[in-house]
């Protein structure tokens, strides 16, 4: 029950991107004013409705010096509707399932928020069941409905200068041109939990012949914490274009556990290496806006015995927004 409550809390706060501040006083009047300033945008010119398509996927790979097996989910695309203001973006997406024989059942939530003026936070919760198994040793691609994975984590970056740019504003088609170029960097921390398993092993009987015994994994789990650094940037371009690019590399110490058919072992190499990156481009017109945002993360860690595990998180969204205030002005 505690886990369900925790997950519900993450869902509630993670379903939108917002620009906020830390609550420091529990006085009801002050709290109301803070909440009002966080979520309520009283300027109707900032409101819009949105149509969008998105792409979300968590994939992982097992490899050694010669062989590579990739686990790729099906039905990564979705479409949806939403609304936005200068302070909040709420989008509801519906997953597109084309192949009924190869459906990946999944929950995939990723969110970004800016707290105060120097605190950048990103978090994600993902559970997948059902993967297409591909390889580089000429075995046929198969779909394994029993293979499961779960990933939970967050990134925190404290920036050395104030963050003057909000992703909510970019997504909502609201430009704030205090500067033509805004770049800030900082240091922070991150934590991650990662898990995958199969009913038997994640490799087929034929696939296991291309690896050593320790790569024939039935269950893998890991958790750890690390440090990261990075920068956040925004560029106000001509013709009402806004571009943004972020990079955040990191390194962590992991506690890993690997279960194979006849044994369980803990890899001696505790290190995990990762990089996060974001690229965004938005066009903002009088009545509408178009935004394209791509977020990617790549993680790599050793499982000993010359085996490595890699996993990646990807999210892309193309949104078209119509500003409601424009219709009102023309009355």
pLDDT of residue 209: 94
Place of tokens 């989008």: 91
- List all residues 6 or more positions away from 138 whose beta carbon is below 8 Å from its beta carbon: none
Phi, psi of 320 (to 5 degrees): -120, 125
Q: Which of 133, 146, 41 is nearest to 83 (CA)?
A: 41
Residues of the chain with pLDDT > 70, as a percent, come to: 79
Chain mean pLDDT for the chain: 82
Q: How confident is the model at residue 234 (pLDDT cuts 50, 70, 90)?
A: confident
Q: Which of 144, 151, 219 is nearest to 190 (CA)?
A: 151
Place of tokens 């800016």: 114
Q: Which of 57, 82, 60 is nearest to 71 (CA)?
A: 60
Q: How confident is the model at residue 164 (pLDDT cuts 50, 70, 90)?
A: low
Query: Tens digit of pLDDT for each residue in 120-160?
Result: 888 899 999 999 999 998 889 999 999 999 999 999 999 88
Q: How confident is the model at residue 16 (pLDDT cuts 50, 70, 90)?
A: very low
pLDDT of residue 307: 96
Round to whole Å and give the CA distance between 230 and 60.
Answer: 24
Average pLDDT over residues 34-45: 47
Round to whole Å and give the CA distance between 19 and 38.
Answer: 7
Least confident of 26-35, 274-283, 296-305: 26-35
**Number of residues that make up the chain:** 331
Phi/psi class of residue 43: alpha, beta or left (left: φ > 0; alpha: ψ in -120 to 50)?
Answer: beta
In this structure, are residues 281 and 291 in contact, taking their beta carbons and an 8 Å threshold?
Answer: yes
3-state secondary structure at position 239:
coil
Q: Rounded to the nearest 5 degrees, what angle is found at the Cα of 54, between the Cα atoms of 49 and 60?
A: 155
Query: Tens digit of pLDDT for each residue in 65-94?
Result: 999 999 999 999 999 998 877 666 778 888
Residues of the chain with pLDDT > 90, as a percent, come to: 53
């Amino acid at each position: 029950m505690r886990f369900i409550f925790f997950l519900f809390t993450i869902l509630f706060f993670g379903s939108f991107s917002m620009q906020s501040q830390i609550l420091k006083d529990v006085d009801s009047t002050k709290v109301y004013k803070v909440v009002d300033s966080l979520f309520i945008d009283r300027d109707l010119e900032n409101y819009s409705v949105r149509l969008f398509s998105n792409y979300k996927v968590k994939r992982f790979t097992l490899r050694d010096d010669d062989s590579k097996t990739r686990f790729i989910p099906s039905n990564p695309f979705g479409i949806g509707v939403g609304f936005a203001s200068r302070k909040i973006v709420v989008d509801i997406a519906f997953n597109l399932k084309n192949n009924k024989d190869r459906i990946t059942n999944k929950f995939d939530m990723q969110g970004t928020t800016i707290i105060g003026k120097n605190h950048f936070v990103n978090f994600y919760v993902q559970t997948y069941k059902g993967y297409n198994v591909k390889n580089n040793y000429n075995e046929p691609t198969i779909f394994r409905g029993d293979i499961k994975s779960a990933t939970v984590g967050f990134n925190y970056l404290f920036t050395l200068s104030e963050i003057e740019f909000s992703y909510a504003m970019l997504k909502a088609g609201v430009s704030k041109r205090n500067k033509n170029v805004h770049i800030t960097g900082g240091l922070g921390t991150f934590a991650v939990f990662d898990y995958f398993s199969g009913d038997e092993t994640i490799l087929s009987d034929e696939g296991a012949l291309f690896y050593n015994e320790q790569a024939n994994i039935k269950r893998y789990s890991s958790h750890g914490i690390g440090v990261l650094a990075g920068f956040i940037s925004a560029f106000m371009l001509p013709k009402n274009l806004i571009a943004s690019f972020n990079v955040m590399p990191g390194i962590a110490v992991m506690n890993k556990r690997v279960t194979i058919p006849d044994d369980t072992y803990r890899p001696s190499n505790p290190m995990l290496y990762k990089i996060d990156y974001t690229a965004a481009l938005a066009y903002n017109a009088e009545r509408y806006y178009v935004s394209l945002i791509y977020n990617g993360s790549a993680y790599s860690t050793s499982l000993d015995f010359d085996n490595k595990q890699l996993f990646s998180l990807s999210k892309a969204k193309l949104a078209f927004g119509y500003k409601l205030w424009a219709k009102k002005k023309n009355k």
